[in-house]
Amino acid sequence: MKIAVIGGAGVRTVIFINGLLARYKKLNIDEVVLYDIDSEKQEIIGKLCAHVIKRKKEELKVGIAKSPIEAITGADYIVTTLRVGGDHSRVVDETIALTEGVIGQETTGVGGFSMAVRTIPVLLEYCKLIQEHAPNAWIFNFTNPSGLVTQALRSAGYDKIIGICDAPSSTKFRMANRLGVEEKDLYVEFFGLNHLSWIRSVKKNGKEILGDLLADDDFLNSVQEFSMFDPELLRSIGYLPNEYLYYYYHREKALKNIQKSGETRGKTIEAVNLHMMEELKAMDMDADPEGALQIFLYYMALRESSYMSIETGSGKREEIKRGKLEVPDGMGYAGVMLDCIEGLQSEEGYSLVLSVENQGCIQGLLDEDVIEVTCKVSKKGICPVPIGEVPEHAYLLMRLIKMYEKLTVEAIMHKSKETAIQALTLHPLINSYSLAKTLVERYDDAYGIF
C-alpha cells in the first residue's frame, strides 16, 4: 500500500515517518511519497526521513514526487498537511488581529478564518486531482483549521475525508500517565467540534471517574491541558475541556498575555524554522546525516517546549541540550492516522477521536455537520459513539461556531466579502460587525483573498 503526503516538506513529516516505522509492516504499507511546492525544503526533509529509516535498518520506501499527480496516483491513503502562505502568513494573521485588539490564533477566531480562506481553495484543487487519480483513497486532513477545512471539503462532496487532530490523543496520553495506567485501560470520551470539545466520560478499567478527577485539584494542575483553567470553572461545567477552550473561557487573560509578551506563537515558530533550515542548508547532510538529524531534533524540541507558553503566561521553557536527542515516536497526528488505518483493517477496531460527519450523533446538529467525537473504527467503518443531547452551554457554543464555519465556507466558495463579514460578526472572539468588517478588509488587503 502507498501513502502520499501533500505538504511533505512540513517539519512533522520526519516524526510521521519515524512513527510509521514501528507499524508499516503490520499495516501493509510499502511506500510513502512526499510532495511539496517548496522543492528545496522537501529535499532536506526527504534526506532526514531517509536517515531515520536507515538508522533503524528498516525497508520502508520514501520518495519525493515532482508533481502532485505523481504523488497521488496509486495511493491508498493521502495526508494533506499544508500551510498556504508559509510560516510568515501566520505572523501576519496574528499581528493584524492583535492590532485590532483580538486573538489571532491560527485555528481559533480570525487567525483560523484567514488561514481557512487561503487554504480551502488550494485543498479543493488537490481533492479534484485525488478524485481523478486515486478515487478510492482515504484522505486524512491534518491541515489547520482542521474542523473547518474538513467541513468545507465534505460540503464539496468529498466523502472519504477524515479530520485529524492530536490534541485529544495527547490529552489522553497525559491523563493515563498521571493516573498510572496503560492507555488501553483508560476510556476518554470526547464530543464537540475540533478545538472546541469536551470530555464527558473517563473510565478507568471500566469504572467512571470523571467526577473524582474534577474534584482533584492536584490532578487538574498536573495535566498540561487542564492546568491552564480555573478549577472552579471546570467543576461548574462538569466536563474536562479541550485546551483551545482556554481562548473562550479565559479570553482576556490569553489576549493580555500575548500582548504583554511582545511576540506571538507564529513569530516563535517562524524563527525556530528559519534557524533550523539555515543550519541544515549550510551543512553537508550527506556527509553527516546524524548531525543533521540532531539539528532538526533540537529545533523541534525548542518548538514543542514553547507550546501555549505565551498565551497562558507560564513562561516555562525547559533547557534543551544539543546532542543525543531521540526522535519522537510519532504519537501525535501520525499516531491517530495510523490507529485509524489499523482500525479500518481490523475486526475489533479502535476508539479514536476524529472529525467526521455528525449523522445523528449530537442532537440538534445537522447530519452533514462535521464534529469532533470519539468514534469506533473497524472494518465496519467509522462510527461515532451516540452522544445525544448535550448541555445547553456547550450546544449553543457549538451551534454558533458551526454557523460561523458554514458562512466562512460560503464566503470562500462565492468570494463574498459580505458573507465573510457575517461569519466573523458571529464568532464569539470577534462579536462585532464593525470589527469584523475592519478585519476582513485588512486580511483582504494583505492577501487579496476576495
Q: 205 vs 188, 202, 209, CA distance in Å?
A: 11, 10, 10
- Grid coordinates representing 261? 509578551
Confirm whether residue 340 is marked as ligand binding.
no
Q: Which contiguous run of DSSP H or E holds residue 192?
A: strand 186-193
Of 2, 3, 8, which Cα lies nearest the Cα of 34? 8
The active-site residue, picked from 244, 246, 247, 298, is 244
Catalytic choice (76, 93, 166, 339):
166
DSSP 96-118: HHHHTTS---SSSTHHHHHHHHH
Burial of 324 (0-12, 13-18, 19+ CB in 10 A): exposed
Quote the DSSP letter at residue 164.
-
Distance, CA of 329 to CA of 12 (rounded, Å): 11
Angle (CA) 147-398-390 rounded to 5° is 120
- Is residue 435 within 8 Å of residue 102, measured between CB atoms? yes
d(CA 34, CA 297): 20
Contact 170, 188 (CB under 8 A): no
Q: Which of 163, 218, 134, 186 is nearest to 372 (CA)?
A: 163
Q: Is 195 annotated as a binding residue?
A: yes
> Which helix (H) or strand (E) element contains residue 298?
helix 289-305
DSSP letters spanning 128-153: HHHHHH-TT-EEEE--SSHHHHHHHH
Alpha-carbon distance values, 276 to 295, 296, 319 (Å): 7, 6, 17
Q: Is 216 a catalytic residue?
A: no
Which residue carries 520506501 as its cell? 61
Is residue 210 within 8 Å of 202, Cβ to Cβ?
A: yes
133 is in an annotated binding site: no
Residue count of the chain: 450
**Coil, strand, or helix at residue 214?**
helix
Strands 350-357 and 370-378: antiparallel
Q: Are 318 and 288 in contact (CB under 8 A)?
A: no
Angle at Cα 56 formed by Cα 53 and Cα 59, nearest 5°?
Answer: 55
Torsion of CA 244, 405, 90, 121, to 10 degrees: 140
**Measured in Å, how far apart are the chain's first and last C-alpha atoms?**
40
244 among known catalytic residues? yes
Q: Which residues are annotated as a binding site for Mn(2+)?
A: 165, 195
| Residues labelled as active-site residues | 166, 244
Q: Which residues are annotated as a binding site for substrate?
A: 90, 144
Q: Which residues are annotated as a binding site?
A: 90, 144, 165, 195
